[in-house]
Amino acid sequence: MLRDVSFTIADGDFVAIVGPSGSGKTTLLGLLAGLDTPSAGSVLIDDVNLATLSEDARARLRGEKVGFVFQSFQLIPTLTALENVRVPLDLRGDDSAGSRASELLARVGLADRTHHYPVRLSGGEQQRVAIARAFVNSPRVLFADEPTGNLDHDTGVRIVELLEQLNRDAKTTVIIVTHDLELAARAHRMIRLSDGAVVEDRVRGA
């Protein structure tokens, strides 16, 4: 349960939400992304109050403005890396799906792995495919839930560096939930939760 949580995240920011297990991180992420609705208060994306939208309308908003990166990658095992990345654009009939997916796989360093299935990719490569898929619809906001949780430390650092690069180049707002304070310290801003409340909200270098 969250208690009196209130903050604003600026366009193009890179924010890490941290805290121990049970602190409310996953609950907060679900609310921010419109997957859940708050019992009180409001969540706004581009001045749209998510709580006033129907479930279908929230789904459309997510499809238009939101990207997700999951800890467990959530790739479709029967599709190649290229096919996994292009899925969101294929679902809305976008003719640029193939070229856009190829471009993003190249940007995340996987131009030579486009036709590989997930089982033939390392954990770090699978996460890079997941990041490319999350960026394929040019989201205004990208949410990442423990994006380095299933990776070794060095690979995790490279994944965070990739998110930083895409945040910088595409101007996408990136919000990650993580328990790794070392990786979270790379974000521009860190919001710390404890027992459902914000106990620290700090900008790097401030």
Question: What is the pLDDT at residue 75?
Answer: 94
Cα three-residue angle 57-63-66, rounded to 5 degrees: 105
pLDDT band for position 190 (50/70/90)?
very high
Share of the chain above pLDDT 70, in %: 99
E strand residue ranges, the chain: 14-18, 44-45, 48-49, 66-69, 141-145, 173-177, 189-194, 197-203
Residue pLDDT, tens place only, 50-78: 888 888 988 888 888 888 888 888 999 99
CB 127 within 8 A of CB 159: yes
Over the stretch 133-181, which tens digit does the pLDDT of each residue have?
988 888 889 999 988 888 888 888 888 888 888 888 888 999 999 888 8
pLDDT band for position 206 (50/70/90)? low
H/E element holding 36? none
C-alpha dihedral (140, 4, 183, 143), degrees to nearest 10: -30
Q: What was the pLDDT predicted at 150? A: 82
CA 29 to chain centre: 10
Structural domain boundaries in the chain: 14-77+123-203
**pLDDT tens for each residue of 77-127:** 999 999 999 998 888 888 889 999 999 999 888 999 999 999 999 999 999
Element (H, E) at 111: none
Find all residues with CB under 8 Å of 11, minimum gap 6, and list them.
140, 171, 173
Higher pLDDT, 191 or 182: 191
Q: Considering the entire predicted model, what is its pTM? A: 0.87
Q: Pick 14-77+123-203's CATH classification: 3.40.50.300, 3.40.50.2300, 3.40.50.150, 3.40.50.1100.
A: 3.40.50.300
DSSP string computed for 20-33 = -TTSSHHHHHHHHT
Tell me what pLDDT residue 147 has.
86
